[in-house]
């Protein structure tokens, strides 16, 4: 049970579960490229453990490139495969 909880707290898993990316490999690639910020600090490790109330954001360059794609993906996939209830997407 503890291992499952740790797996669900990993940055790559949270980005995947929040429907930002289609699979974990895609979220790992984005993290390793340095485009993900946690509490305004660049994170390169996909195994980074997210704590309650951590703020996850993306670098401006990634936001510009993926804005339309993510908007479509979020609108379409949220209705089919909504994020888990414990995640808050704003």
Kindly report the pTM of this predicted structure: 0.74
* pLDDT of 79 over the 60 cut: no
Q: Supply the DSSP string of 26-68, one letter for each residue.
A: HHHHHHHTT-EEETTEE---TTPBPPTT--EEE-HHHHHHHHH
Give the residue, 73 or 22, on which the prediction is more confident: 22
Query: How does pLDDT run across 7-63, given as a tens digit for each residue?
Result: 788 999 998 888 778 889 999 999 999 999 999 999 999 999 999 899 999 998 877
Q: Please name each of the domains of the chain with its CATH number.
A: 2-80 (3.10.290.10)
CA-only gyration radius of the chain, Å: 13
Band of pLDDT at residue 67, cut at 50, 70 and 90: confident
pLDDT at 38: 96
């Amino acid at each position: 049970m503890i291992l499952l909880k740790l797996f669900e707290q990993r940055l790559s898993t949270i980005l995947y579960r929040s429907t930002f990316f289609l699979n974990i490999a895609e979220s790992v690639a984005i993290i390793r490229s340095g485009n993900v910020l946690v509490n305004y600090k660049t994170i390169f490790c996909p195994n980074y453990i997210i704590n309650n109330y951590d703020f996850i954001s993306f670098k401006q360059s990634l936001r510009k490139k993926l804005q339309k794609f993510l908007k479509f993906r979020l609108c379409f996939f949220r209705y089919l495969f909504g994020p888990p209830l414990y995640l808050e997407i704003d």
